[in-house]
């Protein structure tokens, strides 16, 4: 399965006459004043709510130009501060409308590209804190005589006290999801935020990392079992530390002088962001916690939640079988985002604070994923539901365009791409094994009597020795060599279907996989070279193909980068065909000729 941006929050058509009048006559300014009023009685508090709700609705219609113009005006009128203040309103209904407004501003429009990293950090911190807070306020206010009037707006009709108590947590869950999509929209946009922008977010408030991990570890609850807050949070975490789309982790490339200077500045910001991650207390345990929550969740329990949600929690639109199946896609998304973070972290330029204990603790996560990948059966061999659900998780990948793209006629590149667990699990494990080998630890582990101080309690010495045994590594390498070739072939199949952007992403993941194999070979001083025969050729082929996809799509700087990497990887290698090397040099020259 592949995540795209088919989420439907509404359609975009040109503003109707009322909307045009509202925008042109200054009614927006009036609504902004009205929505900031603090009265708590039902009449005036409802009016304040409706004022912000009207602005949110304007974001779900209008042409791209109309929405861009409106959000520009709203930013100038301090809409971010107004919405964040609304999240502190005494009434829970106002939390809902503020979260919904921020969601429409980021996913239906272009707020992310118009605000600073500090403002983005404020939004993420506020909304993540809300998401992790729980439904108690909603339950209290939906059942209190003085504030229960909010239920008629929330659900569109009067509710009895037992009904209001039942529906309140589900309404909170819906609001949680709006809050999470708002944060997602800040990161998943075109163009994607630069490394400097992401660093600005983390510098302004490093606590956003901890808050996002809280959201990523949220349990599935019976009142809203189709909730995907945890997987959205994992996506946001991955995007905060995601490398640029034109980089293949582990592949060295060279650009012309002017471009290289800009590239170096971005690389510095990227590595500083990773240092902030490493500085957070228990950052490794937080990753492990996400995986543990997924491992502890039983699909049988989730199925019962789905069967009871209409009866017990008044689901207005009861989730069906499709919604149940989607939770395995969400689970797969959470897993690959954590694996993406692990693999990315191993490429930090300064690993001095990435301790041996950190590596060993994360190795358990990566090993379990690699095992799941190796045990996943092809569709034709599946014989029970457990195998089906495992297959859905392990085959889940991300190819996410900004959510507003459904209303944009031209093609927009997906800024968030992560390969499935079948690929990411082995890559993450290879990268961690490589670090152990580079630190001259891999061959010493069999004789260890104890684990390094600070190692997670989820890992035992026996498990570590089994994970790093020749038998386990041999199986991993055999599987990896098979999958890296299959991944490249899948890219070629997509290319033949005209899916050039998607094919390019697949080729990049195949190249990263091959580069991880070669780095492991180098770190282990050729011990496994026979098993890794052909890995360099796979790297050169995949990088060259990625360069070709980029060139055909007019991404000449990227094509130059990939062709450069292919040339450097292939030159002087006896197992790389000279014709392939010549082809990549032609690709390099062609891309260079298109640059200023």
pLDDT band at residue 468, thresholds of 50, 70 and 90?
very high
Mean per-residue pLDDT for 81-91?
A: 98
Residues 304 and 274 in one domain: no
The label of the residue with tokens 């910001």 reads: 269
Residues 134 and 187 in one domain: yes
pLDDT band at residue 22, thresholds of 50, 70 and 90?
confident
Is the residue at 485 inside a domain? no
Within 13 Å of residue 341, how many CA atoms lie on the same side as its CB? 29
Residues 532 and 431 in one domain: no
Residues 9 and 81 in one domain: yes
Mean per-residue pLDDT for 502-520?
A: 98
Residues 369 and 506 in one domain: no
pLDDT of residue 5: 45
Mean per-residue pLDDT for 390-404?
A: 94
Mean per-residue pLDDT for 579-595?
A: 95
378's CB contacts (< 8 A; 6+ apart) are none
The yes-or-no verdict on residue 253 having pLDDT over 90 is: no
Percentage of the chain beyond pLDDT 90 is 85
CB under 8 Å, gap of 24 or more: what pairs does 449-453 form?
451/357, 451/360, 452/355, 452/356, 452/357, 452/360, 453/357
Round to whole Å and give the CA distance between 241 and 271.
9
Is the residue at 75 inside a domain? yes
pLDDT of residue 21: 73
pLDDT tens, residue by residue, 57-83: 988 888 888 889 999 999 999 999 999
Mean per-residue pLDDT for 343-356?
A: 97
pLDDT of residue 2: 59
Round to whole Å and give the CA distance between 539 and 382.
32
Range of the domain at 264: 254-281
pLDDT band at residue 15, thresholds of 50, 70 and 90?
confident
The yes-or-no verdict on residue 262 having pLDDT over 80 is: no
Residues 311 and 295 in one domain: yes
The yes-or-no verdict on residue 396 having pLDDT over 90 is: yes
- Residue 416 forms beta bridges with which residues? 400
pLDDT band at residue 470, thresholds of 50, 70 and 90?
very high
Q: Domain holding 534: CATH number?
A: 1.25.40
pLDDT of residue 407: 60
Mean pLDDT of the chain: 94
The yes-or-no verdict on residue 203 having pLDDT over 50 is: yes
Residues 202 and 56 in one domain: yes
Is the residue at 461 inside a domain? yes
pLDDT tens, residue by residue, 93-134: 999 999 999 999 999 999 999 999 999 999 999 999 999 999
pLDDT of residue 6: 41
Is the residue at 330 inside a domain? yes
Token readout for 408 is 């944009």
Is the residue at 219 inside a domain? no
pLDDT of residue 8: 43
Residues 289 and 275 in one domain: no
Percentage of the chain beyond pLDDT 70 is 96
pLDDT tens, residue by residue, 436-461: 999 999 999 999 999 999 999 999 99
Is the residue at 238 inside a domain? no
415's CB contacts (< 8 A; 6+ apart) are 187, 188, 189, 190, 191, 192, 239, 245, 400, 401, 402
End-to-end CA distance of the chain: 40
Residue 110: name the closest of 157, 160, 65, 153 by CA. Answer: 65
Token readout for 395 is 């085959």
Is the residue at 213 inside a domain? no
pLDDT of residue 506: 98
Token readout for 551 is 């060139």
User: What is the total count of domains within the chain?
Assistant: 4
In contact, 546 and 505? CB cutoff 8 Å: no
Residues 321 and 443 in one domain: yes
Mean per-residue pLDDT for 31-35?
A: 96
Q: What is the pTM assigned to this prediction?
A: 0.96
Residues 64 and 156 in one domain: yes
Mean per-residue pLDDT for 152-177?
A: 96
Residues 450 and 319 in one domain: yes
Is the residue at 220 inside a domain? no
Residues 418 and 541 in one domain: no
pLDDT band at residue 403, thresholds of 50, 70 and 90?
confident
Round to whole Å and give the CA distance between 212 and 358.
20
């Amino acid at each position: 399965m592949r995540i795209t941006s088919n989420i439907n929050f509404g359609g975009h058509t040109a503003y109707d006459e009322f909307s045009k009048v509202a925008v042109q006559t200054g009614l927006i300014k009036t609504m902004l004043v009205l929505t900031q009023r603090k009265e708590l009685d039902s009449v005036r508090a409802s009016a304040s709510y409706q004022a912000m709700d009207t602005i949110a609705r304007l974001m779900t219609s209008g042409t791209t130009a109309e929405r861009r113009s409106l959000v520009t005006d709203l930013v100038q009128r301090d809409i971010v501060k107004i919405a964040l203040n609304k999240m502190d309103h005494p009434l829970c209904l106002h939390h809902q409308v503020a979260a919904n407004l921020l969601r429409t501003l980021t996913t239906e429009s272009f707020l992310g590209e118009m605000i600073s990293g500090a403002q983005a950090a404020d939004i993420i911190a506020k909304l993540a804190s809300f998401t992790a807070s729980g439904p108690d306020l909603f339950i209290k206010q939906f059942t209190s005589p003085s504030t229960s009037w909010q239920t008629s707006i929330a659900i569109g009709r009067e509710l009895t006290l037992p009904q209001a108590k039942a529906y309140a947590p589900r309404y909170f869950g819906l609001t949680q999801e709006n809050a999470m999509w708002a944060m997602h929209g800040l990161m998943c946009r075109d163009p994607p935020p630069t490394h400097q922008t992401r660093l600005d977010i983390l510098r302004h408030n490093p606590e956003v990392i901890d808050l996002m991990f809280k959201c990523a570890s949220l349990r599935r609850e019976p009142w809203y079992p189709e909730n995907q807050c945890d997987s959205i949070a994992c996506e946001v975490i991955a995007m905060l530390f995601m490398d640029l789309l034109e980089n293949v982790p582990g592949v060295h490339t060279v650009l012309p002088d002017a471009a290289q200077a800009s590239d170096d500045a971005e690389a510095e910001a990227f590595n500083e962001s990773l240092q902030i991650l490493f500085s957070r207390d228990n950052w490794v345990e937080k990753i492990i916690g996400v995986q543990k929550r997924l491992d502890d969740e039983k699909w049988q329990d989730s199925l019962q939640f789905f069967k009871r949600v209409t009866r017990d929690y008044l689901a207005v639109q009861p989730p069906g079988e499709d919604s149940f199946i989607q939770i395995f896609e969400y689970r797969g998304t959470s897993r690959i985002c954590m694996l993406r973070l692990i693999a990315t972290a191993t490429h930090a330029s300064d690993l001095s604070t990435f301790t041996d204990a950190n590596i060993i603790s994360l190795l358990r996560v990566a090993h379990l994923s690699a095992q799941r990948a190796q045990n996943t059966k092809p569709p034709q061999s599946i014989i029970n539901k457990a195998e089906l659900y495992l297959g859905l998780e392990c085959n889940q990948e991300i190819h996410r365009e900004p959510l507003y793209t459904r209303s944009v006629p031209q093609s927009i590149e997906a800024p968030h791409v992560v390969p499935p667990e079948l690929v990411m699990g082995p890559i993450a494990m290879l990268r961690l094994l490589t670090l152990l080998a580079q630190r001259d630890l891999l061959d010493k582990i069999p004789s260890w009597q104890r684990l390094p101080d600070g190692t997670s309690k989820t890992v035992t010495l026996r498990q570590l020795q089994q994970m790093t045994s020749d038998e386990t590594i041999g199986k991993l390498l055999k599987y990896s060599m098979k999958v890296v070739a299959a991944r490249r072939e899948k890219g070629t199949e997509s290319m033949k279907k005209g899916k050039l952007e998607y094919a390019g992403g697949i080729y990049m993941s195949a190249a990263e996989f091959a580069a991880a194999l070669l780095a492991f070979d180098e770190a282990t001083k050729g011990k496994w070279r026979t098993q890794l025969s052909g890995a360099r050729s796979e790297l050169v082929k995949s990088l060259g193909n990625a360069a070709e996809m980029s060139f055909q799509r007019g991404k000449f700087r990227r094509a130059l980068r990939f062709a450069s990497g292919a040339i450097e990887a292939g030159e002087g290698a006896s197992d790389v065909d000279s014709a392939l090397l010549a082809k990549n040099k032609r690709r390099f020259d062609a891309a260079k000729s298109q640059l200023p």
